[in-house]
Amino acid sequence: MNIAHILVIGGGPAGSFAAAALAREGFEVTLLERENFPRYHIGESMLPSCRPFLRFIGAEQKVKDYGFSVKVGAAFKFNQTKREGYTDFINPDPNRAAWNVTRAEFDEILLRNAGENGVRVCEGISVDSIGFSGENAKQPVSAAWTSDTGASGQVKFKWLVDASGRTGIMATKYLKNRKFNQALRNIAFWGYWTGAGKYAPGTDRENATWLEALVDESGWAWFIPLHGGRVSVGIVLKEDISRAKRARVQGPNVNFQHYHDQLKLAPGVTRLLGNATLVGEVKTAGDYSYASSHYAGPNYRIAGDAGCFASILRVIVGIILRFTQIDPFFSSGVHLAFGGALSAASTIAASIRGQCTEDEAIRFHNERTGTSYTRFLLIVLTAYRQMTSQSVPVLSDIDEDNFDRAFDFLRPVIQGAADTDGTVTEAALQSTMDFCQNALGLSNPDMHKEVAKRLDSSPMVDHAGFGGEIFNGLSIRLKRGSLGLERTPVAAEARKNGHDFRRDLARL
């Protein structure tokens, strides 16, 4: 393992997707993964938008056939005095259902799929350092690695995709541009149960995911049905609040008692659990949302959690950048990973094929990734505000007893359609952003000052289309054999003839 044309670091959803997409274009790709799959990972619930992404790399049928729990939609209990909101994945098309997955199995499917598409997959290999050259030594050209058997070496490459997860070797070790969002410091506790009930049995919403604000406004809980009769049940609290609550717990197993104490504050989850049995230990992880100032540079791209993370460990496979626990709440983790990976693969292919300059490709990936992050973060903060201030009419008017109107606005983003469905209009998406910004106007400025900075620098809707479709005159060319970027006149003509990037993705 001495030379690789394109090196991908990390075999999670972002790395496996980018590697497979590039290999299917005929490029030589090597992927280095620190762990040996399967390996445990949190992040279990997906959005319907993941299906066309999976289809593009030839993995949709593999995931569909595996037997994961079908996700028909998700219910959100933002306020204990109002009826829950619901986002429906299957009407009018049952084939738009997503899945709740066990990440160990789901991620291995994606990694093996990359190998089946020609990627040289090397597991048990950790990247220790990266070598640079070029102008001002900013272009990565080599990586020193160590295997779990004690072997070591160096691999040279022309192009790099850093999908190394929260380790984020480029962002943390070299670019040093990772910034944590202090307003979204959360901690999660979760476990797995058997023998639980189902949400809305006997209806077309049966077995949907359930998410609920705690009655004391200190956080929220999730209830995610998995295959094999198990459910994932977790609670998410602000870090300081959780610390204060745990300090009052007595006994030998503080996390266990703290977890059960918080579940009592989620009456909907308590009803669904019924006489269910907790299997195994209570797990915990910090959710420190972060983002980077940029996600690309000369001959390298950063994708997935290596660049930004805003969810609790992605407790659901799915808001970005990557949420206040935004992942478990809106299941955007995998959606964002796939979107970033597609952008990374498309911009590398475009640069290699001469469809644009490398500087143009870098700028495209930076702006597209930043825009996706901002879009989801706005919605996350809006929902977060409602959960922690349940008496304030953030997502509903004072005289409304439900959140149906809010979900009409939020649906394009929380189902992932903003990035994958070309029938979603610019006007509809702008209405979503306007709705969230107006709702945030009710919240404490300290909570969203960082978002305001991103709104000043990230285009939410540009002159040619909504976020991520056209940036600086370029749009993703989603065509097997010529994946890359195309210039605005070509993109505009393609749209006129029904070939919008999101439509192409949805039709795969």
* Least confident among 64-68, 125-129, 378-382, 413-417: 413-417
For the chain, the domains span: 3-179+289-507
Give the tens place of pLDDT for each residue, 198-208. Answer: 999 999 999 99
Q: Is residue 113 pLDDT above 60, yes or no?
A: yes
Q: Is residue 494 pLDDT above 70, yes or no?
A: no
Percentage of the residues of the chain whose pLDDT score is greater than 70 = 68
CA dihedral over 111, 192, 100, 402, signed as positive or negative: negative
Q: Is residue 419 pLDDT above 70, yes or no?
A: no
Average pLDDT for 278-284: 95
| pLDDT tier, 7 (very low <50, low <70, confident <90, very high otherwise) | very high
Give the tens place of pLDDT for each residue, 310-335. Answer: 332 232 223 222 233 334 444 567 87
Give the tens place of pLDDT for each residue, 87-98. Answer: 888 888 888 899
Q: Torsion-angle region of residue 381: left (phi > 0), alpha (psi -120 to 50) or beta? A: alpha
The per-residue pLDDT for 176 is 75
The per-residue pLDDT for 171 is 80
pTM summary value:
0.79
The answer to whether residues 312 and 333 touch, using CB atoms and an 8 Å cutoff, is: no
Residue 349 tokens read as 């292919």
Q: Find the helix packing angle between 254-263 and 239-247, rounded to 10°.
A: 110
The per-residue pLDDT for 175 is 83
The per-residue pLDDT for 435 is 47
The answer to whether residues 74 and 86 touch, using CB atoms and an 8 Å cutoff, is: yes
Q: Find the helix packing angle between 13-23 and 103-116, rounded to 10°.
A: 20
| Per-chain mean pLDDT for the chain | 78
Average pLDDT for 14-40: 97
CA distances from 183 to 17, 320, 445, 448 (A): 31, 15, 10, 8
The per-residue pLDDT for 238 is 85
DSSP at 150: S
How many residues belong to the chain? 508
**How many C-beta atoms lie closer than 10 Å to residue 257's C-beta?**
16
Give the tens place of pLDDT for each residue, 262-271. Answer: 999 999 999 9
Measured distance CA(98)–CA(88) in Å, rounded: 11
Where are the alpha helices (H) located in 442-484, listed in sequence order?
Answer: 445-457
DSSP at 231: E
The per-residue pLDDT for 455 is 40
Which CATH topology does 3-179+289-507 take?
FAD/NAD(P)-binding domain (3.50.50)
Give the tens place of pLDDT for each residue, 360-418. Answer: 999 999 888 877 666 556 655 666 556 566 555 545 444 445 445 454 545 554 444 44
* Least confident among 275-284, 422-431, 440-449: 440-449
Q: Torsion-angle region of residue 50: left (phi > 0), alpha (psi -120 to 50) or beta? A: alpha
The answer to whether residues 467 and 413 touch, using CB atoms and an 8 Å cutoff, is: no
SS (H, E, C) 367-408: HHHHHHHHHHHHHHHHHHHHHHCCCCCCCCCCCCCCCHHHHH
